[in-house]
Amino acid sequence: MKNLKKQDPKIYNAIKNEIKRQEEGLELIPSEIAASIPVMEALGSVLTNKYSEGYPYKRYYGGQENTDIVESIAIERAKKLFGVPHANVQPYSGSPANLAVYVAVCKPGDTVMGLNLLDGGHLTHGWKASATSMFYNTIPYHVKPDGRLDLEEIERLALKHKPKLIWVGATAYAREFPFEKIAKIADKVGAYLAADIAHIAGLVIAGVHKSPAKYAHIITTTTHKTLRGPRGGMIMVTTKGLKKDPELAQKIDRAIFPNLQGGPHNHQTAAIAVALGEAMKPSFKKYGQQVVKNAKALAAELMKSGIKLVSNGTDNHLMLIDCGKGRGVLLQDAMGMAGMTVNKNTIPLDPSTPFYPSGVRLGTPSLTVRGMKEKEMKKIAGWIAEVMEEIKTFEFPEDKEERIAALKKFKAYIGKNKKLKSIKSEIKNLCKKFPLYKDLNW
């Protein structure tokens, strides 16, 4: 980055510090991962200079001979990896991809169903703060007390409300999705079934999570989570989707361009193509398998320490710690001080609010990319248990005025806590044995 260092040292230093933060700490946020160097090289390429409104070989601008090749490669790789007849790789990210599904198959005011946000669902599946609830009649479904999808409720709501579209997918769900069972419900009421596999796309490719390709009509995903690509999105139409509506592929493409987006980000498309190429290698399957092994090992060790997990374990790459009412922010900040990055998160039937939730979400993709295995998960679980022990006497205040003072006092406490500093030092030493980028010369 010598040119950046000379041109804009403030931005250069921020990036250098971020590299240091990622290298010296443990990234436990399950939606985050370290993209490979080839992916980042493609993302930083001259393809960012080119406008390419339209689709390969059907553009509105000249000079597309190279961008057409890049996008066609990305499309063909996506189709092969997920076993689908149609793929659109232009969505800027996951949320625009999901909005395009609404535009393609629904009219404003149509009824849609999705997992409730507080139960682990995503904003774009109809949550009240999302634009999707402004334009569509959204009916949320929930999980049972054991943390698994309430299939009986889903069927009851579907029969009652006759939705046009049903979403299956989540942002904080630790169990395998029962695609075939929800598909039967969708078929019974004539609804489109859209599987949002943003979190598990890499696991599906690796064969450690069931694929929705046989059951859903539409599949959406981000490309920057377990898929280990750049920040981006994809929409795929399945064979089942084309049987339901032979024009579904064209409707999806039209929803992306020109309905919602302009020119695609060609540098992003190239990086997606590179990531999909990496996902075709045998090493990617081993990585996906290890992600799940690590998650199961971490969850088991946490529960051995007496830490409560939503659904008592995991089937995939993530888990949710139940910290007690409103205490998610306390554990998030304390773990951050100890060198472990996580995110506060709601839990099912959360007694607190989304801003001060009662849970913490954590996962293993980034740890696995570094080469860590079950042995390291045991150490990490021990550190998490130690952090929780250090903050166990702090309670989350109900009163808003008391809360400000209490949180300020808490941050001062963890900032001076010797145990947290000691853990951070131990984590730094562990990370030296598992460098994030062995050949990064920035």
What residues are labeled active site?
51, 53, 196, 222, 225, 231
Residue 102, helix vs strand vs coil: helix
Please check whether residue 159 is in contact with residue 132, taking contact to mean a CB–CB distance below 8 angstroms.
no
The string over 336-354, giving b where at least 16 C-beta atoms fall within 10 Å of a residue's C-beta and e elsewhere, is: bbbbbbbbbbbbbebebee
Q: Find the Cα–Cα–Cα–Cα dihedral 255, 257, 263, 266, rounded to 10°.
A: 70
312 in the Ramachandran plot: left (φ > 0), alpha (ψ -120 to 50) or beta? left
The DSSP secondary-structure symbol of 143 reads B
Please check whether residue 111 is in contact with residue 240, taking contact to mean a CB–CB distance below 8 angstroms.
no
Cis previous bond, 85, omega within 30: no
Q: What is the DSSP code string of 215-280?
A: T-SEEEEESSSTT---S-EEEEE-HHHHHH-TTHHHHHHHIIIIII--S--HHHHHHHHHHHHHHT
Please check whether residue 288 is in contact with residue 364, taking contact to mean a CB–CB distance below 8 angstroms.
no
